[in-house]
Structure formats: C-alpha cells, structure tokens
C-alpha cells in the first residue's frame, strides 16, 4: 500500500530512504536543488509543505523502499495506492522506471500547485460515511462555494474538498471535522487543467504494459487493465478516491499480508479500521515496511 500526499511522518520516511541508499532518487525529486541531508538537519524541512516538492519526494521514498524489499525477496502480488500513491504502485510493479515516476510526480505536483495558487482551497475530513450526513455537510457548504467529496477513506471518514468558505460552513454541521494539511482542493473538478497537464506528461512517458502484479485502482476499487492505468491516473485528479472499495477489493483478492510503505501511519490506521469494521475480520497481517525490512 502506497501513501498519498496527506501522510504524516515524511521526514522520518526520508531518513529511512537515505538509509536504504535512496539519495540519488531523492536528489532527482528536487532536481538537485536540495541535498537529502538538508531535510534531516531541518534546513529544508519546510519544503515538504510544498506540493511540487512533496509529491516527487514521496514517490522517490516509496520506490527506494520497494527496491530494498525486492532485494530481500519481498515482491507484491497486488498493489494499491492512495491518490498519488497509485503512481508509486504502478512503478513498483514495472509500469514505469523509478526515475520516470519521480519526474511524473513532479509534473503532477507542479500542475496541482499552479491551480491551487490561482484558486485557493482546502480539504477537511469528517467522521462519517453516512450518505445523509455527507449530504448535509455538502448542502451547508455549497451556498458558500464549491464543495465536493474527495475521498471515501473509511467507515468513519470521508474527505471533502473545495473553497475554504464552503469548508468552514460544512465544518459547522459535520461530525468531528478535521482540516487536512494540504495546499489546495485536491480531487475536485477545478483540477481539470492539472489533469490535462498530467495526462500529456503520461502520454510522453515510456511505460510497460506487462506488469509484475495487479493494481487496484482508486476510481472504483477494481483491478486495472494495464493499458488503462495512465488514463485512470489522470482522471483521478478530479475524482474522489474510493479507498474503502480498494481495501475491500484487497480482502476479496485473498491477501494474507498487507505492507504499508512509509510514511505509513495513515494508511496502516485506515486498513486496520477497515478490517476491524468487517462483520468477520479476515486473517490479514498488516505490517509496515520497517517491520519487513528489519
């Protein structure tokens, strides 16, 4: 399982990637403008708040960890990634080279950051998946601006995305609303120009159609056909992440072990909640990549 942009613990994950020999990919993520050690020392820690920096860094971290796991004989039969993590997941099973994936993540992050600067927005997690409660929150917010569902994360977590005034209004009626630390309104219709830019970059990038494992897609939780992955990755920027469907698909596929790639705290918590909420909890072991590597 590969994390997306709202994950916590990025600096610790950079430290892990450096320990695993990932400095070259980390340098590529910043075009050599920042030395990887500058994140650990704190001199560049503030840069992880910038979408155009964070997204390629997360992909560089993920694919460094994948290489280390493969060197130890750990290879996936199934991959899934939350939002940006779907790009890492595709590269992890041979769809792209690590370098191409990092470059694409930069294009994606820069395009999304450009939209966010032109039209600021944000995201908020609300503690429900109940359709009527979600509808109430949307109804409260939409008179004040655009507001849409960005992700269905868990039985007790839905993420809304849109204008800040609309989010503030929705927070007044939504249960236990928590603002996410992101720079814009991701997975919203306003990201259409970013999706177009990303789609063009995907079309220019060499990729493989013979993959080493199956990929569960964010759009609906189905197993993606290799040929359709690029278009799904681009469309994802304007559509909600169906993460609960992805996790359900992983269960149905008969997974016995799920490994959360760093930074892993958010993903690991979501899968454990999902498994615990099922009527009969399947015997699936959920581990962090640190545990597997040790």
Residues 210 and 94 in one domain: yes
> Is 184 inside a domain boundary?
no
Q: Which two tokens stand for residue 230?
A: 């690029």
pLDDT score of 214: 97
CA nearest 109: which of 84, 140, 92?
84
User: Domain limits at 36?
Assistant: 10-117+189-293
Kindly state whether residue 232 falls inside one of the protein's structural domains: yes
Q: Is residue 61 part of a domain?
A: yes
Average pLDDT over residues 242-250: 96
Calpha distance 80→286 (Å, rounded): 14
CA atoms within 13 A on the CB side of 120: 3
Dig out the tokens for 174 from the structure: 């939504």
Question: Of 128, 146, 179, which residue constitutes the final position of a domain?
Answer: 179
Structure tokens at 4: 């997306």
Task: Answer whether 206's CB lies under 8 Å from 170's CB.
Answer: no
At 282, is the pLDDT very low, low, confident or very high (cuts 50, 70, 90)?
very high
The pLDDT score that the predictor gives to residue 294 is 87
Confidence of residue 268 (pLDDT cuts 50, 70, 90): very high
- In tens, the pLDDT along 129-186 reads 999 999 999 999 999 999 999 999 999 999 999 999 999 999 999 999 999 989 899 9
Domain-ending residue, one of 159, 179, 199: 179
- Answer for the pair 215, 90: CB distance below 8 angstroms, yes or no: yes
Q: Residue 293: in which H helix or E strand, if any?
A: helix 289-293
Residue 2 forms part of a structural domain: no
Reduce the secondary structure of 107-167 to three states and give it as a string. HHHHHHHHHHHHCCCEEEEECCCCHHHHHHHHHHHHHHCCEEEEEEEECCEEEEEECHHHH
pLDDT digits (tens, 9 = 90+) for 176-223: 999 998 989 999 999 999 999 999 999 999 999 999 999 999 999 999
Residues 37 and 99 in one domain: yes
d(CA 162, CA 139): 13
The first and second tokens of residue 143, run together, are 């008179």
pTM of the model: 0.97
Q: How confident is the model at residue 45 (pLDDT cuts 50, 70, 90)?
A: very high
CA-nearest of 192, 128, 193, 136 to 158 is 128
Total structural domains within the chain: 2
Instruction: Considering only CA atoms, give the Rg of the chain.
Output: 18
Q: Please check whether residue 58 lies inside any domain of the structure.
A: yes
| Residue 5 in domain | no
Domain match, 158 and 235 both: no
> Under the phi-then-psi rule, with left for phi > 0, alpha for psi from -120 to 50, and beta for the rest, what region is 270?
alpha
Per-residue pLDDT, 243: 97
Name the one residue in this structure whose structure tokens are 């916590």: 8
17 and 133 in a single domain? The answer is no
Burial of 133 (0-12, 13-18, 19+ CB in 10 A): middle
- pLDDT over 80 at 252, yes or no: yes
Average of per-residue pLDDT values in the chain: 96
CATH code for the domain of 269: 3.40.366.10
> pLDDT class for 7, splitting at 50, 70, 90?
confident
Same-domain status, 125 and 105: no
Residue where a domain terminates, one of 179, 198, 219: 179
- 68-97 pLDDT tens trace: 999 999 999 999 999 999 999 999 999 999
- For position 8, what pLDDT does the model report? 85
**Is 4 within a domain?**
no
Do 157 and 283 reside in the same domain of the chain?
Answer: no
Same structural domain for residues 198 and 266? yes
Q: How many CB atoms lie within 10 A of CB 4?
A: 24
Residues 107 and 213 in one domain: yes
236 and 97: one domain?
A: yes
CATH number at residue 170: 3.30.70.250
Task: Give the pair of three-digit tokens for residue 101.
Answer: 């994936």
Read out DSSP for 29-80?
HTTTSS-HHHHHHSTTGGGGGSHHHHHHHHHHHHHHHHHHHHHTT---SEEE
Residue 86: the pLDDT is 98
In a domain, 234, yes or no: yes
Whether residue 283 sits in one domain with residue 166: no
Q: 260 and 167, same structural domain?
A: no
Both 287 and 193 in one domain: the answer is yes
List the beta strands (DSSP E) in 128-276: 147-154, 157-162, 178-179, 214-216, 257-260
């Amino acid at each position: 399982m590969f994390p997306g942009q709202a994950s916590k613990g990025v600096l610790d994950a950079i430290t892990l990637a450096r320990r695993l020999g990932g400095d070259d990919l980390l340098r590529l993520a910043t075009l050599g403008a920042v030395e990887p050690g500058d994140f650990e020392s704190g001199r560049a820690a503030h840069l992880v708040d910038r979408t155009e920096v964070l997204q390629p860094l997360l992909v560089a971290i993920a694919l460094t960890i994948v290489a280390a796991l493969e060197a130890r004989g750990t290879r996936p039969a199934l991959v899934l990634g939350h939002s940006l993590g779907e790009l890492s997941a595709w590269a992890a099973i041979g769809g792209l080279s690590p370098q191409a994936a990092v470059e694409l993540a930069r294009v994606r992050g820069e395009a999304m950051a450009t939209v966010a600067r032109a039209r600021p927005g944000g995201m908020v997690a609300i503690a429900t998946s109940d359709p009527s409660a979600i509808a109430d929150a949307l109804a409260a917010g939409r008179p004040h601006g655009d507001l849409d569902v960005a992700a269905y994360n868990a039985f007790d977590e839905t993420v809304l995305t849109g204008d800040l005034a609309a989010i503030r209004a929705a927070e007044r009626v939504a249960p236990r609303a928590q603002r996410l630390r992101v720079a814009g309104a991701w997975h919203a219709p306003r990201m259409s120009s970013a999706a177009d830019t990303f789609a063009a970059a995907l079309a220019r990038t060499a990729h493989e159609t013979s993959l080493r494992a199956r990929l569960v897609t964010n759009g609906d939780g189905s197993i993606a056909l290799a040929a359709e992955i690029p278009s799904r990755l681009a469309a994802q920027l304007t559509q909600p992440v169906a993460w609960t469907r992805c996790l359900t698909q992983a269960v149905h596929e008969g997974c016995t072990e799920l490994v959360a790639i760093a930074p892993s705290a958010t993903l690991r918590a979501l899968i454990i909640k999902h498994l615990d909420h099922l009527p009969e909890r399947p015997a699936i072991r959920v581990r962090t990549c640190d545990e597997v590597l040790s």
